[in-house]
Structure 1
Amino acid sequence: MTCAELLIRLLRDTYGVDTVFGIPGVHTVELYRGLEGGEAAGIRHVTPRHEQGAGFMADGYARATGHPGVCFIITGPGMTNIATAMGQALADSIPMLVISSVNRRDTLGLGQGRLHELPSQQQLIAGVSCFSHTLLDPCQLPEVLARAFTVFRSERPGPVHIEIPIDLFDAPVAIPSQWQPPMLYRPAPDPRGLAQAVDWLTAAERPLVLLGGGCVDAPGAARQLVERLDAPTVTTINAKGLLGRRHPLDLGANAALPAVRELAANADVILAVGTELGETDYDVVFDDGFALTGRLIRIDLDAQQLVRNQPPALGLVGDAGRSLELLVERLPHPMHKGGRGRTALALATLDLVNDPAFMPFVPLYAVLEAVLPEAILVGDSTAPVYAGNHLVSQPAPRRYFNASTGYGTLGYGLPAALGAQLGQPALPVVALVGDGGVMFTLSELATAVEERLPVVILLWHNAGYEEIRRFMDAHGVERLGVDLKAPDFLTLARGFGCLATCVDSPASLSDALASRPLDGPMLIEINAAAWQKNLIQTGKQ
């Protein structure tokens, strides 16, 4: 068979890939020969309208399913286009496999002005990937793919890039004798370190637990551990739903707010598992005010991460899920540390539903929970998402994620929601976007219509970049470039063949959601000014 055909067979039969995102190009036509038969061949190909959209779709698919998102991308501009999506995935440890073409082997690095030529495509992408590899011998393809999936399954995941010269796609290659991937296990912490952690946690009077996105595959162990420790627990944005909806020990992703900061500063032992302790989770007010004075125990799959941001008293290298399970085994009996009371007091002090910054969005999320309680909420960087990071509580992990953390790109919400819907077709999916950010990837409405994906797009229309307006005002900078002329979103959506409507109150939003189609997308535009005016008139704000 050819190298391209072998690639498809390995992805499908060895690694269980069922969906690929890509835009065919003249450099990748031979790669698509291996995809003949479409879904009947076992792999669904989805064509976005921009390579950045392909990357965001793969990201959303991976976050919703836990399986790597896979992209087929053309040489040169295709790779520069997808680099932003790879940067977002790298920042949030999202498994993504990007297979690209590159110019013929005999022309690499010569600068001859070939179609799509870059001086070094591999060097360009190395900075937004766990590794980038140029395949020079088709017989090495099984080994390189095995390396990629080892990253996804056995260490801190992220994007991996494999580029294949166009003269290798149709090169003949022998069928490998071994088709099955190796059985892989992620590492567990040293037993002596676990014993030390248990001793400290048992003796603690005011323990605190910090759980990050690395824990999302172990919700049962996470709940058992925090309940046995009776410890207030911060679940970061990417860990929402880990303890279930409104668990009595869950402080949510509110580490940057004063009541939780005070609780953290007073904790005598802190256990942080699978979290970077980065500013977009713990310091969204950007004043470096999240201080830990007690003994800090950190557990992470990435050894270097153990000493970033907050220095630990005890650092353990290991998989978050396995570590949680081992700690539960060593802590068989529930303790009584007053954790539920401390959690309740902190949440009551925060009083999030009456915080003026969040109040416009309290009824929005109340409607979503009432009408679509099982929905996956996928967000861009936009006002409802900033509030939702604090307000939202989900019934399970992998049901809430957005681009407001880490890399913080715009344009993520819509395509990532499409990827999530493709990965979890049985669950409702809602994209939370703003009128500014959605313009980056609005063309992906065409993909949603073509694939008949029943995604709800909630578009918060506040006529520009509201977050940047506030920052300019706060710093005494005259507003420039932030008050945007918006298009007629309803007309645009309908032009794509997407059902569209506008709402200005919680009641009208509820009605619109209840009538959403199940065989295609629906765009619901929320007029921010009218929404807030109605809330004031009805006494809800």
Structure 2
Amino acid sequence: MLTCGELLVEMLEDCGVDTVFGIPGVHTVELYRGLPSTKINHITPRHEQGAGFMADGYARVSGKPGVCFIITGPGMTNITTAMGQAYADSVPMLVISSVNNTEQLAMGGGRLHELPSQSNLVSGVAAFSHTLMRPDELPDVLARAFAVFNSARPRPVHIEIPINVITAPADHVKRKLGAVPSRPAPCPDAISRAVQMLKSAQRPLVLLGGGTASASAEALRLVEALDAPTAYTVNAKGVLPKGHPLALGSNQSLVPVRELVLQSDVVLAIGTELGETDYDAVFDGNFRIDSQLIRIDIDAEQLNRNYPADIAILSDSRLAIQALLAGLGEGAAFNEDSPGCKLAAKVRKQLEALIPDAWHAQKRVLDVLQETLPDMIFAGDSTQIVYSGNHLFEANSPRTWFNSSTGYGTLGYGLPAAIGAKLAAPQRPVVSLIGDGGIQFTLPELASAVEANAPVIVLLWNNSGYGEIKRYMQNRNIPTIGVDIYTPDFLALARGFGCNAERAESFAQLRDLLQSAAKADRPTVIEIQESAAFLTA
């Protein structure tokens, strides 16, 4: 007899799933029965939050949904934080959980792992949550999930399966999934109006979001055709190549870029929610768009959130950009002496003058990482070197710089997300940029990395506490309570988990450690103390 649980793993493999993150429990073990008959690799984190963050990092690098098997009750409450981060950043994630037997649901009988309603619990951090009441529903529900991942705004999907349904017979279930819908194409009339507006623009500006990560070639052609200075969100880093003369970086929260936005007569925003953590990271409410605004987004509800559009185009970013390029036709050959490039250069010079002294050393650390290992992927946490890097670092390609300091803003993300990224791209070096406070949220995942043969590089930025929050409190004359936390010996802990571990005392040593770590067969923790002499020299 083929059970529903066995059918599920077979259908996941048919959908292209090659990795599942999960911690087996008595309510989910039947999901594992069929795994040996597939080629799906199972990764065991040390906490369900780690499972979600690993799936997130895997999805961001691979472009495919990260998949998790999660136990009823505490497993689901543990993973909701990771689902919240993925939801905020539009990351595809499939969370498959168990739930109590169908006749026990919502009865309040005090069963093992019982919650009044898991589905309601996660509904705010999922595109949808479905309780599978019969094996026959499985193909339709999976088809819905992959339609979200491939054809809509990608976000987590939760499927919960009662224990008695997991073991129910499924030989009779038709395995055919419905075709994945095409991604939405733009309305021709809206494109025509947008083309006319852009052709008449004297001072166009482009804002790119994470929705353009898979349309970098088209986005590059568009900004050059418009000769438009271009800013981009953290999740869009690398869409324009490093050093491009029209690039303004991810600096929409800084005055020079804000002034440029106000001086522009047409703003074209593509695949960006125009959200606070990318456009108002200083939280002063002073980012404004007063000009005509064209918005392109795959999410209809997003098109008029935050900043209402003059022209709203519901579409996949690549398809919309291609349509705009066709309408704009051949323009003058792009060159670095164009008015747009000169204007962008002027703004970049103004931005350079605003760089705080403390950021220079942090930027040099990031430069050493990128110069030593040019194809490195950076998975960051909420920590000083990530905050500065969001403004100063330029990625060589899309999907290589992402972190949790924007959007949901959780701590502990950087280490497990780097593990997921490494599993998605085992041939590339992957570094976790994480602070001493953040790593204590998910430190045991070092053991998961060793076990999974994922030799990530952990760059541990150690300022002996919650340094950014402490500065925030000091600037507001608030007593610094709860931020000077005990700092353990991270190098000893890392070695205890089976990792290599060293402290960098110079930029030269940092380069040597990175080169060794890239060749290692296990994770390497490289600690940098914020107070180190070589950073302040």
> Partners in 2 of 1:262 and 1:225 — Cα distance?
23
Matched, 1:84 2:88: no
Amino acid paired to 2:77? T
Structure 1 gaps, min length 5: none
Give matches, 1:31-42, under 5 Å. Answer: 31-37=31-37, 41-42=38-39
Q: Which moved more, 1:396-405 or 1:326-335?
A: 326-335
Cα distance, 1:426 vs. partner?
1.5
Matched, 1:156 2:153: yes
> Partners in 2 of 1:506 and 1:115 — Cα distance?
53
Give matches, 1:350-499, under 5 Å. Answer: 350-351=351-352, 355-499=356-500
Match of 1:129 among 123, 126, 129: 126
> Partners in 1 of 2:522 and 2:354 — Cα distance?
33
Residue 345 of structure 2 aligns to a residue whose secondary structure is helix
Residue in 1 aligned with 2:278? 281
Cα distance, 1:368 vs. partner?
0.7
Cα distance, 1:217 vs. partner?
0.5
Residue in 1 aligned with 2:111? 114
Counterpart contact for 1:352–1:391, Cα < 8 Å? no
Residue 371 of structure 2 aligns to a residue whose secondary structure is helix
Counterpart contact for 2:150–2:180, Cα < 8 Å? no
Distance 1:280 1:352, change over 3 A: farther
Q: Which moved more, 1:421-430 or 1:352-361?
A: 352-361
Counterpart contact for 2:381–2:412, Cα < 8 Å? yes
Structure 2 gaps, min length 5: none
> Partners in 1 of 2:100 and 2:422 — Cα distance?
34
Residue in 2 aligned with 1:345? 346
Question: What TM-score comes out, normalization by structure 2 length?
Answer: 0.97
Encode CA deviations 1:423-475: one digit per residue, 9 max, x unaligned. 11111100000000110000100011111212100000001111111111111
Residue 340 of structure 1 aligns to a residue whose secondary structure is helix
> Partners in 2 of 1:492 and 1:78 — Cα distance?
26
Cα distance, 1:352 vs. partner?
6.2
Give the superposed CA RMSD: 1.3
> Partners in 1 of 2:439 and 2:535 — Cα distance?
25
Residue in 2 aligned with 1:329? 326
Residue in 1 aligned with 2:27? 27
> Partners in 1 of 2:455 and 2:496 — Cα distance?
17
Cα distance, 1:29 vs. partner?
1.1
Encode CA deviations 1:281-308: one digit per residue, 9 max, x unaligned. 0111111111112101011111111111
Q: Which moved more, 1:25-34 or 1:331-340?
A: 331-340
Cα distance, 1:181 vs. partner?
4.3
Cα distance, 1:354 vs. partner?
5.0
> Partners in 2 of 1:330 and 1:24 — Cα distance?
54
Residue 529 of structure 1 aligns to a residue whose secondary structure is coil
Amino acid paired to 2:19? T
Residue 523 of structure 1 aligns to a residue whose secondary structure is strand
Encode CA deviations 1:471-506: one digit per residue, 9 max, x unaligned. 111111010000111110000000000000001322
Q: Which moved more, 1:503-512 or 1:232-241?
A: 503-512
Counterpart contact for 1:96–1:159, Cα < 8 Å? yes
Cα distance, 1:519 vs. partner?
1.6
Cα distance, 1:332 vs. partner?
2.4
Residue 198 of structure 1 aligns to a residue whose secondary structure is helix
Counterpart contact for 1:197–1:314, Cα < 8 Å? yes
Cα distance, 1:55 vs. partner?
0.2
Q: Which moved more, 1:259-268 or 1:328-337?
A: 328-337
> Partners in 2 of 1:433 and 1:503 — Cα distance?
15
> Partners in 2 of 1:94 and 1:504 — Cα distance?
37
Residue 531 of structure 2 aligns to a residue whose secondary structure is helix
Residue 16 of structure 2 aligns to a residue whose secondary structure is coil
Amino acid paired to 2:18? D
Amino acid paired to 2:158? H
Amino acid paired to 2:50? G
> Partners in 1 of 2:178 and 2:130 — Cα distance?
19
Amino acid paired to 2:130? H
Cα distance, 1:357 vs. partner?
4.1
Cα distance, 1:147 vs. partner?
0.7
Residue in 2 aligned with 1:18? 18
Match of 1:524 among 523, 526, 530: 526
Residue 36 of structure 2 aligns to a residue whose secondary structure is coil
Counterpart contact for 1:155–1:301, Cα < 8 Å? yes
Q: Which moved more, 1:281-290 or 1:505-514?
A: 505-514
Amino acid paired to 2:101? R
Residue in 1 aligned with 2:259? 262
Give matches, 1:315-326, under 5 Å. Answer: 315-326=312-323
Encode CA deviations 1:18-64: one digit per residue, 9 max, x unaligned. 00000000011111001125xxx210000000000000000000000
> Partners in 2 of 1:246 and 1:518 — Cα distance?
31
Encode CA deviations 1:249-273: one digit per residue, 9 max, x unaligned. 1111001111111111100000000
> Partners in 2 of 1:182 and 1:145 — Cα distance?
11
Cα distance, 1:220 vs. partner?
0.6
> Partners in 2 of 1:66 and 1:352 — Cα distance?
37
Question: What TM-score comes out, normalization by structure 1 length?
Answer: 0.96
Match of 2:218 among 215, 218, 221: 221
Residue-pair matches, total: 531
Counterpart contact for 2:267–2:292, Cα < 8 Å? yes
Cα distance, 1:183 vs. partner?
4.1
Distance 1:265 1:365, change over 3 A: same
Distance 1:352 1:167, change over 3 A: farther
Cα distance, 1:315 vs. partner?
0.9
Amino acid paired to 1:185? S
Amino acid paired to 1:109? A
Cα distance, 1:176 vs. partner?
4.2
